[in-house]
């Protein structure tokens, strides 16, 4: 398999747990791509029931990470998360909340008056409805990835890190030959590509293509200073940002909408003053007392984005599989989603829900619904 980010590490962990012996190739290293720069929000607030189940089960895995992997704690911290919607979203939010609560995901709905009562630091202007996910939080993305891959190796997986895959050749009937830039040659019955923003370029090495693009997204960091310390996360659909606490003294903020398409091998990883100002303006409109917060810089990273902002998962040629296109919500899905991907690769009893994410949906003009308006990351 190709990719040692959180999706590759999770798939390797589950494959090894099933008794397989996966070989993991990555030219960069463990969590060296977007995984390591993720804001690592963990929430199950989804409009897609299958993804909600995956996120719910991923949170449970992270709660019990040390027990499951035998490794260190993955840094999961439960904070709760408030999702703020404009009035037009109310019917969709109410439908989604019913589905989520039926799945055992604790979601409570509030109108603007209730938000003003329960979250006094927030300006309720423009709020049509808000959803509170009580057990959401965040984790350590690098620690999570290292823990999953480390346990996979203990169970029999092999990691070929700092190894650049230069070629993929589909074999007659089924199977794939992998060649590396260093001259290595490997033959496998099944190969999984979970290379995030580099998935499309990797698939093309086999003479195939899937509709993925790479977008640059930025995250701004702030110290609370004299601002109110919010112990919970906020996703403000109306203003297009999300924020969460980072330790005791800081918080980070990111974007909810689409952004600029870039070359994943040549993009600016630094946040600009103007981008920080954008985040500040968005947040001040909802939480005026954040004016006392102090900018601490930030960074930019990549999303691998599909046309409908939903994952691209499936067998694209006999023995060649992809797991990518998670469009900014990959970390929170990965720990549990890897089980379904592993079952797919091994042709075990596959959950029928995963079939909807096959890339053939784009050829058939059957895109999946995702999120709310421009905030499709809430898919």
Section 165-174 average pLDDT: 94
**Token digits for 299?**
């960074």
pLDDT bin (cut points 50, 70, 90) of residue 146 is very high
**φ, ψ dihedrals at 121, nearest 5°:** -80, -10
Strand ordering across the sheet containing 41-42: 41-42, 137-138, 77-78
Whether the domain at 6-69+140-212+307-378 and the domain at 79-134+214-305 fall into the same CATH topology: no
* DSSP codes joined into one string, 86-101: -GGGHHHHHHHHHHHH
Q: In the Cβ-directed half-sphere of 35, how many Cα atoms lie within 13 Å?
A: 30
- Decide yes or no: CATH 3.40.50.800 for domain 6-69+140-212+307-378: no
Which architecture characterizes domain 79-134+214-305 according to CATH? 2-Layer Sandwich (3.30)
The C-alpha atoms of residue 220 and residue 222 are separated, in whole angstroms, by 7
Give the 3-state secondary structure of 165-196.
Answer: EEEEEECCCCCEEEEECCCCEEEECCEEECCH
- Which residues lie below 8 Å from residue 266, measured CB to CB, with a gap of 6+? none
Question: Which residue is associated with the tokens 């046309």?
Answer: 307
Domain ranges of the chain: 6-69+140-212+307-378, 79-134+214-305
**Token digits for 336?**
């549990």
Section 310-327 average pLDDT: 97
> Residue 167: beta bridge partners?
179
pLDDT score recorded for residue 379: 67
Interstrand relation of 158-161 and 165-170 (parallel, antiparallel or unpaired): unpaired
* DSSP codes joined into one string, 190-254: -EEE--GGGHHHHHHTTT-----EEEEEEEEEEE-TTS----SEEEETTTTEEEEEETTTEEEEE
Q: What digits encode the pLDDT tens for the residues 215-259?
A: 999 999 999 998 989 999 999 998 999 999 999 999 999 999 889
Q: Which pTM does this prediction carry?
A: 0.95
**Token digits for 269?**
């990883």
Q: What digits encode the pLDDT tens for the residues 291-314?
A: 899 999 999 999 999 999 999 999
- Buried/exposed code over 54-75 (b: 16+ C-beta within 10 A; e: otherwise): bbbbbbbbbbebeebbebeebb
């Amino acid at each position: 398999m190709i990719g040692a980010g959180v999706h590759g590490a999770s798939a390797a962990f589950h494959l090894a747990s099933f008794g397989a012996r996966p070989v993991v190739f990555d030219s960069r290293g463990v969590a060296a791509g977007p995984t390591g720069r993720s804001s690592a929000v963990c929430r199950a607030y989804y409009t897609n029931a299958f993804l909600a189940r995956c996120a719910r089960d991923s949170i449970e895995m992270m709660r019990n990470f040390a027990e499951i992997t035998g490794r260190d704690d993955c840094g999961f911290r439960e904070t709760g998360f408030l999702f703020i919607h404009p009035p037009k979203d109310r019917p969709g939010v109410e439908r989604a909340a019913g589905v989520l609560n039926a799945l055992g995901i604790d979601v409570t709905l509030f109108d603007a008056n209730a938000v003003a009562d329960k979250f006094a630091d927030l300006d309720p202007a423009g709020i049509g409805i808000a959803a509170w996910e009580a057990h959401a939080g965040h984790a350590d993305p690098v620690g999570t990835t290292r823990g999953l891959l480390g346990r996979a190796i203990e169970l029999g997986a092999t990691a070929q890190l700092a190894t650049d895959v230069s070629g993929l050749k589909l074999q007659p009937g089924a199977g794939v030959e992998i060649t590396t830039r260093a001259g290595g040659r490997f033959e496998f019955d099944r190969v999984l590509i979970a290379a995030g923003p580099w998935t499309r370029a990797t698939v093309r090495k086999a003479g195939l293509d899937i509709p993925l693009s790479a977008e640059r997204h930025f995250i701004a960091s702030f110290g609370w200073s004299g601002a109110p310390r919010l112990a919970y996360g906020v996703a403000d659909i109306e203003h297009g940002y999300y924020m969460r606490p980072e330790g005791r003294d800081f918080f980070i903020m990111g974007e909810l909408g689409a952004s600029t398409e870039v070359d994943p091998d040549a993009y600016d990883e630094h946040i600009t003053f103007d981008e920080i100002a954008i985040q500040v303006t968005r947040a001040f409109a909802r939480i005026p007392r954040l004016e006392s917060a102090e900018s601490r810089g930030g960074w930019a990273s990549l999303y691998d984005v599909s046309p409908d902002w939903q994952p691209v998962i499936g067998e694209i040629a006999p023995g060649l599989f992809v797991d990518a296109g998670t469009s900014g919500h990959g970390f929170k899905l990965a720990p549990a989603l890897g089980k379904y991907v592993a079952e797919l690769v091994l042709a075990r009893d596959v959950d029928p829900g995963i079939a909807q994410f096959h890339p053939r949906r784009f050829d058939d003009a059957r895109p999946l619904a995702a999120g709310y308006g421009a905030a499709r990351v809430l898919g």
